[in-house]
Amino acid sequence: MLDSLSGKVALVTGANGGLGTSVTRALLEAGATVVGLSRKIDQSEFAGPAFLAMSADISTGDSARNAVNQVVARYGRIDILAHLVGGFAGGTRIDETEDTTFQQMLDANLNAAFFMLRAVIPHMRKASKGSVIAIGSRAAEDPGPGVGAYSASKAALVSLITTVARENKEAGLTANVILPGTMDTAANRKAMPNADFSTWVKTASVASLIVWLASEAGNDVTGAAIPIYGKAL
């Protein structure tokens, strides 16, 4: 899909994370101009004039809006929002889960997405086009014991993105959420050193799907929650 996103401006949250690095590179290779947003990110992390590093915290509505406004001021628009930011906490039953853990999962997996969507969508509606892709989790639809707060926050994200798709379909926007199983990242390998990595989802596979959804070929797909489980069925 070389140059399939030529001329488009993509905003990627969590751009230099385990998944974000693959997504940022894939979007750049597809011809997009990419603004990589993270709390800590350096311009040197991705080569080329089509990349712009933006250090920002999107944990509040104001901070998310400020970041989006900076992108629009520089490039005039945002064609693609790839929202990859999220977090994980687990290991306890619901009745043992602390308030702080539950709130942490809501903040990381739901609230940050809401803040970004609220900031980006008006600009996309004004342009009558735009593609929103968020990263959920298999746990949103297939929850297991010990990850109740995480699963609930990701399930709420699916609902949020589905609502965005239905509210903005006539305005020319698409919105989809990808539900990966365990992804093959350095952090996950460190956390689960005895797992069978060959069954995990490759970050490049998720990145390729994001590029396709953001391209003209993906225009007919909206409101979808797309599973990508690797070989762990």
Residue-wise pLDDT for 99-109, tens only, equals 999 999 999 99
* Domain spans in the chain, listed from the N-terminal domain onward: 9-228
Distances from the Cα of 21 to the Cα of 38, 123, 189, angstroms? 11, 26, 16
Q: Rounded to two decimals, what is the model's pTM?
A: 0.95
Residue 22, pLDDT > 80, answer yes
**pLDDT for res 231:** 84
Q: Average the pLDDT over 206-220 and give the result.
A: 96
Domain 9-228 has CATH 3.40.50.2000: no
Q: What percent of the chain has pLDDT over 90?
A: 92
Long-range contacts of 52-61 (CB under 8 A, 24+ apart): 53/15, 58/13, 58/85, 58/112, 58/115, 58/116, 59/107, 59/111, 59/112, 59/115, 60/115, 61/115, 61/118, 61/119
